[in-house]
Amino acid sequence: MPARWYALRYHPEQRRLWTEGRRFAVVPAGRRSGKTELAKRRLVVTLSEKKQWADPRYFAAAPTRGQAKRIFWNDIKLLTPPWWVRRVYETDMCISTVFGSEIWVVGLDKPQRIEGTPWDGGVLDEYADMKARAWSENIRPALSDRGGWCWFIGVPQGLNHFRDIVNYAQESGDCEWGLYTWSSSDILPREELEAARRVLDPRTYRQEYEASFEGATGRVYYAYSASVHEAGSIRLNPDLPIALCCDFNVDPCVWEAAQTDGRSVWVLDEIAMRNTNTREMAREALKRFGAHRPGVTVYGDAAGMSRSTAGSSDYAILHEMGLKNQRVRRSNPHVKDRVNAVNSMLMNSMDEPRLFHHPRCVEIRKDLETVEWRANGVDMDKSDPMRTHASDALGYFLEYEFPLRIHASRAGLKFYK
Ligand SMILES: Nc1ncnc2c1ncn2[C@@H]1O[C@H](COP(=O)(O)OP(=O)(O)O)[C@@H](O)[C@H]1O
Ligand SMILES: [Mg+2]
């Protein structure tokens, strides 16, 4: 091989990435920790692989064409053995090989560059900086024809689409996917890490050098952390009633199903639908929990009392459909009271968590992780139409059953009998 193939000592996580051969590999790892180097080598090695078709095609992609060129082009030329090369197309940044394969260096500032032709595989570098929908809309379809593979590599950038795809690789159980993560300290010399520590605030350091997905500051549910509050072991307890926490939005509409023993709360399931209505949501809830013997209790926004869909209030609809046990305040608590109830269930002052959710409840996790206060510090930022429905719904339940105000007035409660 050419001299550019200097020897590297792979650490175990890198070796796992190299040898496991998962179709989709998600690699959040620290700065300068060998992500791109490994990807370049993988791409070049792949060029000699035999396929059923004459022209296997691979891409090395970065968020922009300029970045792609800077990151990949020279090194890929240096790593490719000259006797493999049929032709180098400088302006297109493409190498065709004597095996018939091609490698293209592309910028996803125009994701259409990927579309239209089938690909056998490729790498998306600095994935956190790419357009959130590039994968599902432009890239994934182009990998279907040939069962193409893809690596998603980069440093985290807050709780965005990179985080989502990391979660998918981790939680879905989809065996086509693998998650590989390591920190810069596995590769970089100590002096360099210490130099970085001296100039970066702790949050930025964790993100850049430890591949940590850091939430934005000003988070509403600051006490939440997936590593503490997400529990795959949560199961439906056949002896406890279900609290059905309802939100009456239309698109999306998100309800949470929880149980409590009076001390802890376990959120075990979630119903999330687009463009729906109270009746359709309730049908789904009844399908899942209608036979639960200890029963189902409805909680939610007091606004659902007055607001009506097709003439009846949301709670009247639920009542009519058999969800008769309802615990809803006549008027809503203050937002801060509701939020404090949630946060104190997440972590009390003795550092004990009492609220947990199953990983399948993805909307509640996204809310708890990402919802922020607006600059006025009083209202929640609701600019993303997908957010706050799940956490609002859960908050009404928690505020009702675990209020922080000691003298919560029972007079404000309304029951449907
Ligand atoms: N085990 C290793 N794996 C990958 N690269 C390594 C390793 N050890 C040292 N290196 C060097 O570290 C550098 C990592 O750079 P790069 O792959 O561009 O980092 P990243 O893309 O993670 O920011 C490369 O120059 C590479 O030669
Ligand atoms: Mg890199």
pLDDT in tens, the chain (417 residues): 899 999 999 999 999 999 999 999 999 999 999 999 999 999 999 999 999 999 999 999 999 999 999 999 999 999 999 999 999 999 999 999 999 999 999 999 988 878 889 999 999 999 998 999 999 999 999 999 999 999 999 999 878 899 999 999 999 999 999 999 999 999 999 998 988 777 666 766 888 899 998 765 688 898 899 999 999 999 999 999 999 999 998 899 999 999 999 999 999 999 999 999 999 999 999 999 999 999 999 999 998 887 665 568 999 999 999 999 999 998 898 887 798 889 889 987 667 899 999 999 999 999 999 999 877 666 789 999 999 999 999 999 999 998 865 333 333 333 322
Q: What is the value of pTM for the model shown? A: 0.60
CA of 35 to the centre of ligand 2 (A): 6
What pLDDT score does 309 carry?
Answer: 55
Q: What is the largest CA-CA distance in the chain?
A: 84
Whether 3 maps to a domain, the answer reads no
Residue 252: asked if its preceding bond is cis (omega within 30°), the reply is yes
What range does the domain containing 384 cover? 226-414
Q: Tell me if 261 sits within 8 A of 234, measured CB to CB.
A: no
- CA–CA dist 84, 90 (Å, integer): 17
User: Do 107 and 141 reside in the same domain of the chain?
Assistant: yes
Give, as one character, the DSSP assignment of residue 135: I
Looking at the fold, whether 301 and 370 belong to one and the same domain comes out as yes
What is the distance between the terminal CA atoms of the chain, rounded to a whole angstrom? 79
Of all protein residues, the one whose alpha carbon is nearest to atom 1 of ligand 1 is: 10
134 alpha carbon – ligand 2 mean position (Å): 19
Claim to verify: residue 155 and residue 198 sit in the same structural domain: yes
Ligand 1 atom with the shortest distance to the CA of 10: 1
User: To 10 degrees, the CA torsion angle through 124, 126, 129, 135?
Assistant: 20
Residue 4 lies in a domain: no
From 5, 11, 33, the mutation candidate for ligand 1 (largest count of ligand atoms within 8 A of CB) is 33
Residues lining ligand 1, Cβ inside 6 A:
8-10, 14, 29, 31-38, 187
Task: Give yes or no: residues 162 and 20 share one domain.
Answer: yes
Rounded CA separation 302/412 (Å) = 11
Number of domains in the chain: 2
| 245 and 173 share one domain | no
Q: Residue whose CA is closest, atom 12 of ligand 1?
A: 34
Ligand closest to the CA atom of residue 38: 1
Q: Same domain, yes or no, for 409 and 314?
A: yes
Q: CATH number of the domain that 200 lies in?
A: 3.40.50.300
pLDDT of residue 160: 84
Q: For ligand 1, what atom is nearest to the CA of residue 186? A: 1
CA dihedral 66, 130, 165, 344 (to 10 degrees): 130
Shared domain for 149 and 239, answered yes or no, is no
> How many other CB atoms are there within 10 angstroms of residue 307's CB atom?
13
Q: How far is the CA of 28 from the centre of ligand 1 (A)?
A: 14
Residue type at position 68: A
Q: Which of 175, 210, 245 is the last residue of a domain?
A: 210
pLDDT at 81: 98
- Same domain? For 202 and 107 the reply is yes
Q: What CATH number has the domain bearing residue 271?
A: 3.30.420.280
Look up residue 4 and give its two tokens. 């550019």
Nearest CA to ligand 1 atom 11: 34
Ligand nearest to the CA of 186: 1
Ligand having the closest approach to the CA of 188: 1
Ligand 1 atom closest to Cα of residue 71:
18
pLDDT value of residue 233:
97
Rg (CA), the chain: 26
Q: Indicate the DSSP class of residue 281.
A: H
> Which atom, in ligand 1's list, is nearest to the CA of 11?
1
